[in-house]
Amino acid sequence: MASLSIGEFATACGLTPKALRLYDELGLLPPARVDALTGYRHYDTAQLDRARLIAWLRGIGMPLARIRLVCDLPSGAAVQEIATYWKQVEADLTARRETVSFILDRLSGGDDDNSVGHTSVRLHSAVALDRGLVRTLNQDAAHAAAVLFAVADGFGLPENDTDDADDADGRDGGHPLPSAADAALRALRHTASAVPPAQLTTTLTAAFHSARAAVREFAASAPTASTSSISDIGTTLTALLWSGADFAIAHVGDSRAYLMRDGELSRLTQDHTYVRSLVEEGRLTPAEAETHPDRTRLLRALHAEADAEPDLHLRRARPGDRYLLCTDGIHAVVRGLEAVLTEAEPQEVVERLVAEARAAGAPDNLACVVIDVHGLH
């Protein structure tokens, strides 16, 4: 078998000598032989296929950890893994493309910065909140009014010993039980307001920071279980702030925003979870992630000891669009979201989502908001 120097091998496979040294240190592509006296690396021609695959995958931006997995898979499984990775890339590019289109449109001079709601639409919405069938306390929250729509999934408060006094919405005597989610949405409502399109992101970012401060304040005074601390109290947050047909999304955690457009459902947000990081690193498949025991473990959320910043996107809606915001009490258990979202009216949709979740056992609290976009005639 022919032996190549590191320079010859680099030329043949398209990787630089520097990259080859790094991949040797990582164990991704060790040389066939290292000269004991000079330390020179020598490679066999049989290693060229693996090296070229690594070069190609690096060229499309795949992380090294995931490349290692692909290289060690049989060819059929490797093909599937690469296709899965690229679907994730395309989803991210779609989100960025919408924001880029928005920016280009604004820079072209087509919008009036001083006009609130420059493209008029009518928003029709419905909201549902349910404790589920297992939890004794509802820590989820939702808001749907005027230009602001949001859901939040609170966590960290000790569960009650009994739920005799609580109704299905997780309310006691008609009053919302306090949670970090409630605190976040209260602050969000007080800060967010009708603004021109050019101020959507700055206004929503400021509102998000107010929500983060409110969660810290709530955690400092909230009751904790004997084995927990205030750092365990927090919430996810997914919010839409509208100005006419334009809106900004602020998102942190594993609640989600979806868009139903022309009969096709797409996800607008990405989960900030441990299992998603494992999928991106190639250590889990998306199917395995759905049943992983740590699937609810968050890497980013609003809580007392973190300065979490949101994913922030700009979008332009079209008449006929339908948007869904929901906590994982919905998206983790309801199968066939696309079919449910074809219901005639937003109120029917949220009622069906709650019914589907409860039919599936509703192991968690759940909150959802559905928003329909109508043109003005």
Give percent of the chain above pLDDT 70: 80
**Residue 125: is its pLDDT beyond 90?**
yes
Report the distance separating Cα 65 and Cα 278, nearest Å: 10
pLDDT tens-digit map of 321-344: 999 999 999 999 999 999 999 988
* pLDDT score of 206: 92
- pLDDT value, residue 358: 97
- Per-residue pLDDT averaged across 29-39, rounded? 91
Q: What's the average model confidence in pLDDT over 117-146?
A: 91
Q: Region 128-150: what's the mean pLDDT?
A: 95
User: Average pLDDT in the 174-193 region?
Assistant: 83
pLDDT band at 298 (very low <50, low <70, confident <90, very high): confident
pLDDT at 152: 98
pLDDT reported for residue 114: 46
pLDDT at 165 over 80: no
Band the pLDDT of 274: cuts 50, 70, 90. Answer: confident
The pLDDT-based confidence of 292 (bands split at 50, 70, 90) is: low
Q: What's residue 163's pLDDT?
A: 44
Please report the sign of the dihedral spanned by the C-alpha atoms of residue 282, residue 287, residue 290, residue 294. Answer: negative
Does residue 178 register a pLDDT over 60?
Answer: yes
* Confidence label for 174 from pLDDT (cuts 50, 70 and 90): very low
pLDDT category of residue 20 using cuts at 50, 70 and 90: very high
At residue 171, the pLDDT reads 47
Residue 153 has pLDDT above 70, yes or no: yes
In the predicted structure, residue 364 carries a pLDDT above the cut 90? yes
Q: What is the mean pLDDT of the chain?
A: 85
Q: Give the pLDDT score at 117.
A: 46
Dist CA 153 CA 185 (whole Å): 11
Q: Tell me: pLDDT of 284 over 70.
A: no
**At residue 295, does pLDDT exceed 80?**
no
With beta carbons less than 8 A apart as the criterion, state whether 170 and 130 touch.
Answer: yes
Task: Give the pLDDT confidence of 42-66 residue by residue, as tens digits.
Answer: 999 999 999 999 999 999 988 888 8
Mean pLDDT computed over 150-171: 68
Whether 313 has a pLDDT exceeding 70, the answer reads yes
Tell me, what's the pLDDT at 118? 55
